[in-house]
């Protein structure tokens, strides 16, 4: 159902945008809190508000340029509706003032191709410069365009509870249009974004929401029955749950994180999943005693490192305005330190996977390159070969998923093996 566009609904979007543009909290948290405080807003109204303010976060830089400096939050929203969402002046009529019509027509008339490259890509200068150096101008534009779209909703089937065909059939019976993912053998991609929190298959643990790209990191680690596996930065367990299922609920899977809050969020997911091989543990830092006790014992270790998150701009467009060169440099120091500590856990012949959801080589190739230079006892396992033997086609010695090529979030992952 489409929302009825009224001045009151527009005012809600304006209020949310005002909060978002302070950039002091993650955008999804700000929007969720606003909706909790305004329960009268129905599903369609919420969808309108969320999509419109997220569109401003995605396209704000080029919108500003096209509006030639005459900007307020109200005008940002009007211009986004007209220029990004393609609304006509007739559709905007309930809100648009006669005095704004000329301004909006001029913004619409300005050709996008005349904007400087970073503005056209809707990226801050520093980020554009880094991506352009890595990918070249044409590919950066394609990448930025893909990242300025909203992401599809992907599920991961929990093989302890169901198989993909059964999940697809049951979703179809509920009029939820879905298709098997193109890369992950466990992925289901939905055509729309239905609310799933009360769906019986979700409540029963038959699926979890997880980007298809994120699922491939579990396959790169390739944990087996009966092994000892460590998820070093487990967070709320997005990947832990997949690893536990790949281990067929056997062996021992440690889920470590420094954040109590995230580990608490893992609990209900674990309960739904039916897994009993997962051992969550909070650590103070990467050199915690709990870690030291496992030195040299783990068959496989996943480091899903804290990162800039710049591969997830489709979902978190605010990150491009909240990260900066200093925050990225601080993250790289942390990433190197976590990888160093996690590596000590790996037994001879065992596997270590370093992964991020960043696009920046400073957080990816540079971290792994420096680690391998310092640790000749580790070698790089070609990611394409590891994935090919599990029926997953992906080129390259490292896994590099990109929104414009793979239609997933941006991920980097490298599989390293400690020599036997």
Region 228-257 residues binding ligand SAM, contact defined as CB under 6 A? 232-239, 256-257
Q: Quick one: tokens of 402?
A: 């990109």
What Cα–Cα distance (Å) separates residue 342 from each residue in 346, 353, 354, 416?
7, 10, 9, 12
Output the smallest distance, CB 280 to ligand SAM, in A. Answer: 12
- Residue 285 interacting with ligand SAM (CB under 6 A): yes
Output the smallest distance, CB 247 to ligand SAM, in A. Answer: 16
**Stretches 147-155, 270-278, 283-291, 411-419: which one binds ligand SAM (CB under 6 A)?**
283-291
Cβ-closest position to ligand SAM: 238
Output the smallest distance, CB 409 to ligand SAM, in A. Answer: 11
With 0-12 / 13-18 / 19 or more C-beta atoms within 10 angstroms meaning exposed / middle / buried, residue 20 is buried
The count of other CB atoms within 10 Å of the CB of residue 382 is 12
Taking residues 298 to 317 in sequence order and writing x for each that binds ligand SAM by CB under 6 A, - otherwise, the string is ------x-x-----------
Q: Which is nearer to ligand SAM, 64 or 363 (CB)?
A: 363
- Residue 154 interacting with ligand SAM (CB under 6 A): no
Output the smallest distance, CB 56 to ligand SAM, in A. Answer: 26
Q: Which is nearer to ligand SAM, 59 or 320 (CB)?
A: 320
Catalytic residue among 233, 307, 357, 394: 357
List b or e across 159-169, with b for residues whose CB sees 16 or more CB atoms inside 10 angstroms: bebbebeebbe
- Residue 338 interacting with ligand SAM (CB under 6 A): yes
304 is in an annotated binding site: yes
Angle subtended at Cα 347 by Cα 343 and Cα 348, rounded to the nearest 5 degrees: 105
- Residue 409 interacting with ligand SAM (CB under 6 A): no
- Residue 410 interacting with ligand SAM (CB under 6 A): no
d(CA 341, CA 292): 9
257 is in an annotated binding site: yes
**Torsions phi, psi of 187, nearest 5?**
-85, 145
- Residue 286 interacting with ligand SAM (CB under 6 A): yes
Count of CA atoms in the C-beta half-sphere (13 A) of 413:
31
What Cα–Cα distance (Å) separates residue 331 from each residue in 197, 289, 334, 335, 399?
33, 23, 5, 6, 20
357 in active site: yes
Q: What is the DSSP letter of 333?
A: H
- Residue 218 interacting with ligand SAM (CB under 6 A): no
- Residue 79 interacting with ligand SAM (CB under 6 A): no
**Stretches 3-11, 157-165, 270-278, 280-288: which one binds ligand SAM (CB under 6 A)?**
280-288
- Residue 350 interacting with ligand SAM (CB under 6 A): no
What Cα–Cα distance (Å) separates residue 50 from each residue in 20, 145, 293?
11, 19, 46
d(CA 66, CA 191): 32
Output the smallest distance, CB 147 to ligand SAM, in A. Answer: 18
Using CB under 6 A, count the residues that bind ligand SAM.
19
Spatial CB neighbours of 367, under 8 Å, sequence gap ≥ 6: 305, 332, 335, 336, 339, 354
d(CA 103, CA 28): 31
Angle subtended at Cα 377 by Cα 372 and Cα 379, rounded to the nearest 5 degrees: 55
- Residue 262 interacting with ligand SAM (CB under 6 A): yes
Output the smallest distance, CB 85 to ligand SAM, in A. Answer: 31
Output the smallest distance, CB 216 to ligand SAM, in A. Answer: 12
**Stretches 129-137, 169-177, 185-193, 279-287: which one binds ligand SAM (CB under 6 A)?**
279-287
- Residue 258 interacting with ligand SAM (CB under 6 A): yes
302: left (phi over 0), alpha (psi -120 to 50) or beta: beta
Helix axes 125-135, 137-147, angle to 10 degrees: 120
Q: Quick one: tokens of 75?
A: 């005008």
- Binding residues for ligand SAM (CB under 6 A): 232-239, 256-259, 262, 283, 285-286, 304, 306, 338
- Residue positions in the annotated binding site? 257, 304
Active-site residues, by number, are 357
């Amino acid at each position: 159902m489409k929302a009825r566009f009224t001045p009151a609904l527009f005012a809600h979007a304006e209020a949310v945008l005002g909060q978002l543009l302070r950039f002091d909290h993650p955008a999804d948290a700000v929007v969720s809190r606003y909706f909790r405080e305004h329960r009268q807003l129905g599903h369609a109204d919420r969808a309108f508000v969320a999509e419109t303010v997220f569109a401003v976060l995605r396209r704000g830089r080029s919108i500003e340029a096209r509006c030639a400096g005459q900007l307020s939050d109200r005008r940002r929203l009007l211009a986004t509706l007209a220029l990004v969402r393609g609304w006509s002046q007739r559709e905007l009529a309930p809100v648009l003032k006669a005095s704004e019509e000329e301004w909006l027509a001029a913004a619409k008339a300005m050709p996008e191709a005349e904007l400087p490259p970073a503005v056209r890509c809707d990226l801050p200068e520093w980020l554009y410069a880094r991506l352009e150096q890595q990918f070249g101008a044409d590919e950066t534009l394609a990448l930025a365009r893909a990242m300025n779209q909203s992401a599809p909703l992907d599920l991961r089937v929990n093989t302890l509870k169901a198989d993909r065909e059964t999940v697809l059939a049951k979703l179809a019976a509920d009029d939820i249009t879905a298709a098997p993912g193109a890369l992950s053998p466990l992925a289901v991609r939905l055509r729309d974004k239905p609310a799933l929190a009360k769906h019986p298959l979700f409540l029963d643990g038959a699926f979890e929401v997880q980007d298809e790209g994120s699922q491939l990191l579990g396959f790169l680690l390739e944990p087996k029955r009966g092994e000892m596996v460590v998820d070093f930065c487990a967070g709320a367990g997005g990947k832990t749950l997949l690893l536990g299922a790949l281990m067929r609920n056997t062996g021992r899977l440690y889920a470590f994180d420094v954040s109590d809050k995230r580990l608490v969020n893992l609990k209900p997911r674990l309960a739904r999943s039916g897994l009993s091989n997962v051992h969550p543990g909070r650590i103070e830092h990467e050199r915690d005693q709990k870690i030291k006790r496992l030195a040299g014992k783990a068959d496989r270790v996943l480091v899903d490192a804290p990162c800039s998150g710049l591969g997830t701009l489709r979902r978190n467009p605010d990150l491009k305005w909240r990260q900066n060169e200093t925050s990225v440099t601080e993250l790289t120091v942390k990433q190197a330190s976590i990888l160093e500590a996690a590596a000590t856990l790996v037994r001879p012949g065992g596997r270590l996977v370093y992964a991020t959801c960043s696009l920046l080589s400073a957080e990816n190739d540079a971290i792994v390159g420096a680690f391998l230079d310092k640790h000749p006892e580790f070698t790089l396992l070609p990611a394409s070969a590891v994935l090919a033997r599990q029926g997953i086609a992906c080129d390259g010695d490292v896994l590099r998923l990109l929104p414009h090529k793979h239609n997933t979030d941006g991920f980097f992952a490298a599989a390293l093996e400690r020599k036997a």
